Amino acid sequence: KKGLGSDDATYTVEPKFDGLSVELIYEDGVLARGATRGDGAVGEDVTPNIRTIRTVPLRLRGGKAPRLVAIRGEAIMPLEAFRDLNRWMTERELPAFANPRNAAAGSLRQLDSRVTARRPLAFFAYEIMSIEGAEPPDTHTHELEILSGWGLRVDPHKKICRSIEEAIA
């Protein structure tokens, strides 16, 4: 509220996912690359593995796509899917994952994308990092609407709050 300098602000709030941060690059609406944040300066190219996640569209929907767009999101393994995977692993006397975040990160970093394809990963988009050939969104809510319109999954629990008190609650 202080940073916005206004009492009339609205806030878009979303739960925080604990997965692996991923950047998707689409060129003329087609998925060109997927990368992790790596060390913050240089990421890991995980494009073949990203292509196996069912909630990552290989082509953006909804009409004319921008020439270039970079989208940030989170690759996660839902809790029930994590439990099922660990049960499957232990039945085969393979080491179980410590938590869903490690399972998601390990699955996305596989050298063989066929292994990744068998893992129950999901991707949730939350940010348009850069865009060329189209107008950028003017609010975060608009940004989420654009991402959803392109066929990307956004958090269904997002909420618009009309006051800072509502956002905090």
> Is the distance from CB of 70 to CB of 34 less than 8 angstroms?
no
| Annotated catalytic residue 1 | no
The residue from 16, 64, 158, 159 that is catalytic is 16
Residue for token digits 């490690």? 102
With b for 16 or more beta-carbon neighbours within 10 A and e for fewer, the 70-99 pattern comes to bbebbbbbeeebbeebbeeeeeeeeeebee
> Is the distance from CB of 121 to CB of 20 less than 8 angstroms?
no
Residue 106, exposed/middle/buried by CB under 10 A (0-12, 13-18, 19+)?
middle
What type of residue is 107? S
27: left (phi over 0), alpha (psi -120 to 50) or beta: beta
Catalytic residues, by residue number, are 16
